[in-house]
Structure 1
Amino acid sequence: MTSECAGKSLWLELLGTQGVVAAATIERENPLVTAVIVLEGTIVTGDFLCTRVRVWVNDDGIVTRVPAIG
C-alpha cells in the first residue's frame, strides 16, 4: 500500500531510536506526512492514511516498530 503514497514511506533506520528524534526525522525527510508518537498498547484506528506515520514507542520513548506510512 505504501507505494501509492508520495515520498519516502519506510524508515528502517529509526528502529531503536528515541521517538521524538524519529518523528522529527520522518517529517523532515517527507514533509507530506505527520509523525504521530504512539505508546505501545494504545488502541488506534485501522484506517490507512498517506499523510500519517505512527511512531510506536515503549515506556522509555524508544521506537519499537519500523515507522511506515499508514
Structure 2
Amino acid sequence: MSNSECRGKRSWPELVGVPGNVAVATIERENPLVNAIILPPGTLPTLDFRCDRVWVYVNSNGNVTRVPVIG
C-alpha cells in the first residue's frame, strides 16, 4: 500500500511550526480515518506504512518540525 492509495487528506504542510496538540486535532478533524500520533524529539517511529496513521514530529517546545503525512 502507498500514500496514493489512502483516502482523504494525506499531508498537512500548513501545520509546521504549530503546537503538536493543535496539529493532532486538526489532522484528525480533516481526515477522520487517521490517528495522529505525536513523536517527541529522539523518538523513532515504526517503519511499517499505514493509511490510518500520521506521525507528528515535534521539537522540545512541542511544535511540529516536519510536514505531517499519512504513513
How high is the TM-score relative to the length of structure 1? 0.96
Residue 13, structure 1, aligned to residue 10, structure 2 = no
Supply the AA of the counterpart residue of 2:21.
V
Supply the AA of the counterpart residue of 1:41.
G
Structure 1: where are the runs of 5+ without partners? Answer: none
Percent identity, please: 61
Aligned to 2:40: 39
Mapped partners of 1:40, 1:31: distance in 2: 26
Residue 2, structure 1, aligned to residue 24, structure 2 = no
Aligned to 1:53: 54
Structure 2: where are the runs of 5+ without partners? Answer: none
RMSD, aligned CA: 0.7
Q: Which runs of 4+ in 1 moved over 3 A?
A: none
Mapped partners of 1:64, 1:41: distance in 2: 12
Aligned residues: 70
